[in-house]
């Protein structure tokens, strides 16, 4: 069997020089300036948060298909799940200063210890709102999965530049989580504690 190179120098020259320089600069900054938390509990918190967002979307969707006491039950459970999600985010921010900074940057102020159960309005979630909620939920879930992947890869990588890239990408995705959660709160009405 013939040995073949999978990559020939110059074969894949599709990146602009400016982009390559930008990447190198970002990676150098990540090596020197960025914090890359590796606490294993962060992975568990993100996995739990992903599940919570998915279950919230499910209960909100179920409420649109029900009426009367059953609709209210689904809404009450969704509200409980939202409080649990917020508690997860508080702990995530506590153990991941990069995520805490991302929340602050978009105007989500944690921790808020007032977890009283609010009463959602009767027409809590219309069908068009539900579609947006489902899209935002999937986006948050994907970002949380990606952050976990980058943290695991960061811990496994041997070369500093590879570690720096994983750190940089994971930290970028933490801002995405914050931005998406803030947008989602508008549709789910789960918090008045954002600026």
pLDDT tens profile 55-77: 999 999 999 888 899 999 999 99
On whether residue 29 sits in a domain, the answer given is yes
On whether residue 86 sits in a domain, the answer given is yes
Rounded to an integer, what distance in angstroms lies between the CA atom of residue 36 and that of residue 68? 48
On whether residue 2 sits in a domain, the answer given is no
On whether residue 12 sits in a domain, the answer given is no
- The whole domain housing 158 covers 17-188
The pLDDT, as a whole number, for residue 190 is 77
Residue reference for tokens 């499910």:
58
| Average pLDDT of the residues in 26-38 | 66
Residue 24 confidence (pLDDT) above 50: yes
Count of domains for the chain: 1
**Does residue 103 contact residue 89 with C-beta atoms inside 8 Å?**
yes
Residue 12 confidence (pLDDT) above 70: no
Q: Minimal CA–CA distance to 54: which of 136, 157, 171?
A: 136
On whether residue 184 sits in a domain, the answer given is yes
Q: What is the dihedral of CA 161, 101, 90, 137, to 10 degrees?
A: -70
pLDDT tens profile 70-104: 999 999 999 999 999 999 999 999 999 999 999 99
The pLDDT, as a whole number, for residue 6 is 36
Neighbours of 88 (CB within 10 A): 20
Radius of gyration of the chain (CA): 20
Q: Minimal CA–CA distance to 23: which of 172, 154, 165, 143?
A: 165
Indicate the burial class of 151 (C-beta count within 10 angstroms; 0-12, 13-18, 19 or more).
buried
Quick check: helix, strand or coil at residue 108?
A: strand
This prediction's pTM? 0.76
On whether residue 7 sits in a domain, the answer given is no
| Average pLDDT of the residues in 28-46 | 80
The pLDDT, as a whole number, for residue 33 is 58
| Helix H or strand E encompassing 110 | none
């Amino acid at each position: 069997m013939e040995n073949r190179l999978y990559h020939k120098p110059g074969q894949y020259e599709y990146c602009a020089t400016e982009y390559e320089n930008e990447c190198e600069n970002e990676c150098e900054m990540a090596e020197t300036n960025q914090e890359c938390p590796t606490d294993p509990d962060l992975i568990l918190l993100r996995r739990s948060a992903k599940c919570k967002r998915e279950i919230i979307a499910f209960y909100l969707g179920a409420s649109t298909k029900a009426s009367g006491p059953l609709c209210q039950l689904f809404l009450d459970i969704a509200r409980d799940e939202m409080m649990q999600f917020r508690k997860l985010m508080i702990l995530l921010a506590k153990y991941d200063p990069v995520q805490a900074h991302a929340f602050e940057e978009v105007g989500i102020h944690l921790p808020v210890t007032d977890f009283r159960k609010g009463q959602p309005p009767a027409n809590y979630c219309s069908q068009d709102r539900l579609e947006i909620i489902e899209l935002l939920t999937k986006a948050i879930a994907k970002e949380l999965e990606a952050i976990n992947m980058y943290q695991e890869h960061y811990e496994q990588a041997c070369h500093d530049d590879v570690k720096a890239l994983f750190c940089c990408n994971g930290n970028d995705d933490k801002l995405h989580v914050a931005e998406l959660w803030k947008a989602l709160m508008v549709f789910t009405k789960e918090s008045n504690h954002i600026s």
